Amino acid sequence: MYSGKLKDELLDRLFEAVLVLRNIDECYRFFEDICTVAELKSLAQRLEVAKMLQANRTYGEIASRTGASTATISRVKRALNYGADGYKLVLERLASSAKAE
């Protein structure tokens, strides 16, 4: 059970809402309503940066492919190395899912 510094009732409700979404179409609909386009693109960019960092890509390659700044790449790398392992969990599951298909 997660007990980190972010945990609170409002975030619990948000995450419960995400967990009831059934497919990508529903995710698009929900996230389009709850986030700005820039917020969504930023989240997607960070996930791609994490994936590329795990694949040992260079900062230059990552910046060129994703458009992420070196500050963003560094922030994601710090989260991969010292964070709550959320990126690692999701990336492992996505990789497993892709292999199953």
pLDDT over 70 percentage in the chain: 100
> Model-level pTM?
0.91
What pLDDT, in 10s, does the model give residues 26-42? 999 999 999 999 999 99
Domain range for residue 68? 43-100
- Give the pair of three-digit tokens for residue 10: 């409002």
Domain count, the chain: 2
Q: How far apart are CA 17 and CA 12, in angstroms?
A: 9
Per-residue pLDDT at 53 = 98
Per-residue pLDDT at 78 = 98
What pLDDT, in 10s, does the model give residues 39-62? 999 999 999 999 999 999 999 999
Indicate if 80 and 62 belong to the same structural domain.
Answer: yes
Q: Is residue 61 within 8 Å of residue 50, measured between CB atoms?
A: no
- Give the pair of three-digit tokens for residue 13: 């409700």
Q: Is residue 65 within 8 Å of residue 47, measured between CB atoms?
A: no
Indicate if 30 and 47 belong to the same structural domain.
Answer: no
Indicate if 29 and 47 belong to the same structural domain.
Answer: no
Per-residue pLDDT at 85 = 95
- Classify residue 63 by burial, with Cβ atoms within 10 Å: 0-12, 13-18, 19+: middle
